[in-house]
Amino acid sequence: MSADVQLENVWVQFGDFVAVREASLTIQGGEFFSFLGPSGCGKTTLLRAISGFQDPSRGRVLIGGQDMAGTGPNQRPTALIFQNLALFPLMSVWENISFALEVKGVGKNQRRKKANELLELVALPGQGDKMVNELSGGQKQRVAVARALCAEPEVLLLDEPLSALDLKLRQHMRTELRVIQQRAGITFIYITHDQGEALTMSDRIAVMRQGVIDQISDGTTVYDHPETAFVASFVGENNFFPGKVSKIVEGIASVETKSGLLQARVSTASPVSSGDEAIVFVRPESIRFSNGEASSNYLEATVTHQEFEGHFWHLVLQTDSGSRIRMSVMNDGDSETQAVGSRISLSFIAQAAVVLAKGELAAE
Amino acid sequence: MMGWLRWFLARNGIALSLYMLGAVALWVIVMIVLPQLFMLDFSFRHNWQQIDPSRMGGPDDVYTFVNYHFLAFGSPNNPDPFNVVDVTVFFRTIVAAVFVTLFDLALCYPIAYYLAQVARGGKARLLVLSLIIPFWVNELLRAFAFRILFGEEGTINAILLSLGILNEPVDFVREDVALYAGLGYAYILLMIFPIYNVVESLDKNQIEAARDLGASWIRIHRRVVFPFAKPGITSGCTMVFMLSAGALAAPQILGGPSSLWFTQIIYQWFNTGSNWPRGSAYAIVLMLTCVLFVLAVMRIFKVKIGEIGR
Ligand SMILES: Nc1ncnc2c1ncn2[C@@H]1O[C@H](COP(=O)(O)OP(=O)(O)O)[C@@H](O)[C@H]1O
Ligand SMILES: [Mg+2]
Contact A280, A240 (CB under 8 A): yes
CATH superfamily of A229-357: Nucleic acid-binding proteins (2.40.50.140)
Optimal mutation site among B117, B205, B207, B212, interface A, most CBs of chain A within 10 A: B212
Cα B10 to middle of ligand 1, angstroms: 47
Contact A271, A318 (CB under 8 A): no
Q: How far is residue A301's CA from residue B19's CA, in Å, rounded to a whole number? A: 71
Contact A238, A282 (CB under 8 A): yes
Instruction: Judge: B213–A104 Cβ closer than 8 Å, yes or no.
Output: no
pLDDT of A295 = 64
Cα B90 to middle of ligand 1, angstroms: 58
Confirm or reject: Cβ of A55 under 6 Å from ligand 1.
Answer: no
pLDDT tens digits along B265-277: 999 999 988 889 9
Q: How far is residue B99's CA from residue B90's CA, in Å, rounded to a whole number? A: 14
**Closest to A297 (Cα-Cα) out of A345, A248, A330, A338:** A345
Confirm or reject: Cβ of A153 under 6 Å from ligand 1.
Answer: no
- Given CB atoms, is A273 within the 8 Å cutoff of chain B? no
Largest CA distance in chain A: 78
Q: How far is residue A297's CA from residue A288's CA, in Å, rounded to a whole number? A: 11
Nearest CA in chain A to B226: A90
Q: Name the pLDDT band for A337 (thresholds 50, 70, 90).
A: confident
Contact B108, B188 (CB under 8 A): yes
Q: In angstroms, what separates the C-alpha of A155 from chain B's closest C-alpha? A: 12
What is the Cα B282 distance to its own chain's centre? Answer: 17
- Given CB atoms, is A131 within the 8 Å cutoff of chain B? no
Comma-separated ranges of CATH 2.40.50.140 domains in chain A: 229-357
- Given CB atoms, is A84 within the 8 Å cutoff of chain B? yes
Q: Name the pLDDT band for B88 (thresholds 50, 70, 90).
A: very high
Instruction: Tell me the count of A-B CB pairs closer than 8 A.
Output: 59
Cα B39 to middle of ligand 1, angstroms: 61
CA atoms within 13 A on the CB side of A118: 28
Contact A217, A204 (CB under 8 A): yes
- Given CB atoms, is B215 within the 8 Å cutoff of chain A? yes
Q: Decide if pLDDT at B310 tops 60.
A: no
Q: In angstroms, what separates the C-alpha of A43 from chain B's closest C-alpha? A: 16
Q: How far is residue A116's CA from residue A127's CA, in Å, rounded to a whole number? A: 9
Instruction: Judge: A73–B210 Cβ closer than 8 Å, yes or no.
Output: no
pLDDT of A7 = 96
Instruction: Judge: B214–A74 Cβ closer than 8 Å, yes or no.
Output: yes
Q: Name the pLDDT band for B306 (thresholds 50, 70, 90).
A: confident
Provide the strand spans (E) within chain A. Answer: 5-14, 17-27, 32-36, 58-63, 66-67, 78-81, 155-159, 187-192, 204-209, 212-217, 239-249, 252-257, 260-266, 277-282, 288-289, 298-308, 312-319, 324-330, 343-347, 353-357
The mean pLDDT of chain A is 92
Cα A345 to middle of ligand 2, angstroms: 43
Cα A44 to middle of ligand 1, angstroms: 7
Find the ligand nearest to A206 CA: 1
- Given CB atoms, is B216 within the 8 Å cutoff of chain A? yes
Helix, strand or coil, per DSSP, at residue A64:
coil
Mutate to test the pocket of ligand 1, among A45, A193, A213 (most ligand atoms within 8 A of CB): A45
Say which residues have a Cβ less than 8 Å from residue A292's Cβ, sequence separation at least 6: A345
In this structure, how many other beta carbons lie within 10 angstroms of the beta carbon of residue B133? 9
pLDDT tens digits along A5-57: 999 999 999 999 999 999 999 999 999 999 999 999 999 999 999 999 999 99
- Given CB atoms, is B210 within the 8 Å cutoff of chain A? yes
Confirm or reject: Cβ of A125 under 6 Å from ligand 1.
Answer: no
pLDDT tens digits along A103-129: 999 999 999 999 999 999 888 888 999
- The class that CATH gives domain A5-224 is alpha beta
Range of the domain at B292: 44-308
pTM as predicted: 0.82
> In this structure, which residue's CA is closest to atom 21 in ligand 1?
A44
User: The CATH number of the domain where B270 resides is what?
Assistant: 1.10.3720.10
Task: Determine whether A110 is exposed, middle or buried from the number of CB atoms within 10 Å of its CB (0-12, 13-18, 19+).
Answer: exposed
Whether B168 is in a domain gets the answer yes
pLDDT of B245 = 94
Q: Decide if pLDDT at B309 tops 70.
A: no
Q: How many domains in chain B?
A: 1
Looking at the CA of residue A191, tell me the nearest atom of ligand 1.
Answer: 21
Contact A79, A73 (CB under 8 A): no
**Closest to B298 (Cα-Cα) out of B242, B237, B240, B246:** B237
Task: Give the residue, A266 or B301, on which the prediction is more confident.
Answer: A266
Helix, strand or coil, per DSSP, at residue A25:
strand
Nearest to B227 among A90, A102, A103 (CB): A90
Whether B195 is in a domain gets the answer yes
Q: How far is residue B21's CA from residue B17's CA, in Å, rounded to a whole number? A: 6
Mutate to test the pocket of ligand 1, among A10, A12, A14, A194 (most ligand atoms within 8 A of CB): A14
Contact B281, B66 (CB under 8 A): no
- Ramachandran class of B121: left when φ > 0, alpha when ψ lies in -120 to 50, beta otherwise: left
Cα A208 to middle of ligand 2, angstroms: 12
Contacting residues of A for B208, CB less than 8 Å apart:
53, 73, 80, 82, 86
In this structure, how many other beta carbons lie within 10 angstroms of the beta carbon of residue A323? 17
- Given CB atoms, is B123 within the 8 Å cutoff of chain A? no
Q: Name the pLDDT band for B48 (thresholds 50, 70, 90).
A: confident
Nearest CA in chain A to B213: A100
| Interface predicted TM-score of the whole assembly (ipTM), two decimals | 0.83
- Given CB atoms, is A82 within the 8 Å cutoff of chain B? yes
Nearest to A151 among B213, B216, B219 (CB): B213
Comma-separated ranges of CATH 3.40.50.300 domains in chain A: 5-224
Whether B35 is in a domain gets the answer no
Instruction: Judge: A147–B216 Cβ closer than 8 Å, yes or no.
Output: no
Say which residues have a Cβ less than 8 Å from residue B3's Cβ, sequence separation at least 6: none
pLDDT tens digits along A162-205: 887 888 888 888 988 898 898 889 999 999 999 999 999 999 99
In this structure, how many other beta carbons lie within 10 angstroms of the beta carbon of residue B28? 11
Q: How far is residue A13's CA from residue A19's CA, in Å, rounded to a whole number? A: 6
Helix, strand or coil, per DSSP, at residue A213:
strand
Contact B165, B130 (CB under 8 A): no
Percent pLDDT > 90 in chain B is 49
pLDDT tens digits along A70-83: 999 999 999 999 98
Across the range A307-328, mean pLDDT stands at 89
Instruction: Judge: B214–A86 Cβ closer than 8 Å, yes or no.
Output: no
Report the run of H or E that residue A74 belongs to, with start and end: none
Contact B184, B102 (CB under 8 A): no
* Lowest mean pLDDT segment, chosen from A354-363, B110-119, B249-258: B249-258
Across the range B238-260, mean pLDDT stands at 89
Whether B29 is in a domain gets the answer no
Whether B275 is in a domain gets the answer yes
Q: How far is residue B25's CA from residue A129's CA, in Å, rounded to a whole number? A: 45
Q: How far is residue A177's CA from residue A194's CA, in Å, rounded to a whole number? A: 15
Task: Kindly give the interhelix angle for B84-113 and B177-186, rounded to the nearest 10 degrees.
Answer: 50
Whether B121 is in a domain gets the answer yes
Contact B48, B55 (CB under 8 A): yes
Q: In what order do the strands lie in the sheet with A187-192?
A: A78-81, A155-159, A187-192, A32-36, A204-209, A212-217
Nearest to B228 among A83, A90, A148 (CB): A90
The one-letter amino acid code at B110 reads P
Contacting residues of A for B301, CB less than 8 Å apart:
none
pLDDT tens digits along A198-256: 999 999 999 999 999 999 999 999 999 999 999 999 999 999 999 999 999 999 999 99
Instruction: Judge: A80–B212 Cβ closer than 8 Å, yes or no.
Output: yes
